[in-house]
Amino acid sequence: MTQQMGSQSLQFAEAPFILSSASVVGKKEGEGPLGESFDMVCDSDKFGEDSWEASESSMQKEAAALAMGKASVKPQDIRYVFAGDLLGQTIATSFGLMDYEIPLFGLYGACSTCGEALSLGAMCVAAGYADRVLALTSSHFASAEKQFRFPVEYANQRPLSATWTVTGSGAFVLAKGQGQAKITGITTGVITDYGVRDSMNMGAAMAPAAAKLIVQNFEDFGRGPQDYDLIITGDLGYVGQEILWKLVGDEGYDISKNHTDCGIEIFDAQRQGTQSGGSGCGCSAVTLSAYFLPKLASGNLKRILFVPTGAMLSQVSFNEGQNVPGTAHGVVIEAAD
């Protein structure tokens, strides 16, 4: 039997596998340090479409097709899709996945959605509700800037704490039996508000939620930093990483030796002018798919704690002067035996 661990975690008796995954990104991501590793880099960020929103949908469709192709499965072999994005009413997802006609559970967890989708997908497969599910998320720099901040044409200056929304979509086929890595447990986050109100400093807004999630994971599983080869947050960037280390340190754990952040890995911040780092639902998804899963498959990593982080703001909540609360979803991923 799958076990409830502590107050926020599950350990799967029979761990679902990540059968295949795929990453599709834009031009800037292709020029970054992980550029060679992505499955598809699109030279234009339009992905053949006329609007940024449709471009993001196109990217999702492509990522899903690639992941299914690698697993040699067709849409009708996938019982559920767990998917979401950052746009209002998650339109990138609705319009991107429509043609596949797969039963859809639409999710919203801001930039933590990849963790949420992998969690629910793993729960679903582990319970025998589906033989195969697809977990999928995306973000697009241009559609996100338009949604949350300023139109790109306005050329607003970006402070050093700002992150750069990744143009990318990551897709994962989960199944019983075999695969490149397995999901052995999850820790589900609560919404955490430390009073940050700066939409140009998402790292600071999300770090407290990530810190709480990581400490909770340690407590629920009776583990410490040494039990993970890497603890990988989603998009805290350099600014958020510093806060995270301090907050987790305050609880008695030093994660500075084995922590990294997808937002730090995906761009060369100095060369590419991405300030604090990358962000967005796509950031953690494509970095997991292109960079960390291959290391688990090759045995270079044995067990990681993957913690996509999300900032729960909207343009409306921001304009009405609300804080920016954060959340996080933790997924324990281990090398297949």
Name residue 174's beta-bridge partners.
Answer: 18, 133
**Residue of 69, 225, 322, 336 interacting with a second copy (CB under 8 A):** 322
Residue 332 lies near a second copy (rule: CB under 8 A): no
Nearer to a second copy, 9 or 21 (CB): 9
Residue 315 lies near a second copy (rule: CB under 8 A): yes
3-class secondary-structure state, position 305: strand
In angstroms, the CA 53 to CA 81 distance is: 20
- As measured in angstroms, the least distance from the Cβ of 101 to a second copy is 5
Residue 193 lies near a second copy (rule: CB under 8 A): yes
Residue 137 lies near a second copy (rule: CB under 8 A): no
Name residue 182's beta-bridge partners.
Answer: 17, 334
Name residue 171's beta-bridge partners.
Answer: 22, 136
**Residue of 37, 94, 258, 272 interacting with a second copy (CB under 8 A):** 94
Residue 107 lies near a second copy (rule: CB under 8 A): yes
**Residue of 103, 151, 249, 273 interacting with a second copy (CB under 8 A):** 103
- As measured in angstroms, the least distance from the Cβ of 279 to a second copy is 14
Which of 86, 170, 74, 167 is CA-nearest to residue 121? 170
Within 179-314, residue ranges assigned H as helices are 202-221, 237-250, 262-265, 269-272, 281-287, 293-297
In angstroms, the CA 96 to CA 140 distance is: 13
Interactions with a second copy, residue window 253-282 (CB under 8 A): none
Nearer to a second copy, 170 or 310 (CB): 310
- As measured in angstroms, the least distance from the Cβ of 212 to a second copy is 10
**Residue of 22, 104, 204, 248 interacting with a second copy (CB under 8 A):** 104
Instruction: List the structure tokens of 283.
Output: 């950031």
Is beta strand 168-175 parallel, antiparallel or unpaired with respect to 132-139?
A: antiparallel
- As measured in angstroms, the least distance from the Cβ of 131 to a second copy is 8
Of 58-66, 83-91, 151-159, 194-202, the window that binds a second copy (rule: CB under 8 A) is 83-91
Which of 214, 232, 233 is CA-nearest to residue 223? 214
Residues 196, 204: contact at Cβ < 8 Å? Answer: yes
Task: State the CB neighbour count (10 A cutoff) for residue 100.
Answer: 18
- As measured in angstroms, the least distance from the Cβ of 156 to a second copy is 20
Residue 129 lies near a second copy (rule: CB under 8 A): yes
Residues 71, 173: contact at Cβ < 8 Å? Answer: yes
Residue ranges binding a second copy (CB under 8 A): 1-2, 4, 7-8, 10, 51, 53-54, 76, 79-80, 84, 86-91, 94-95, 97-98, 101-110, 116, 119-120, 123-124, 126-131, 147, 188-191, 193, 312-317, 320, 322, 325, 327
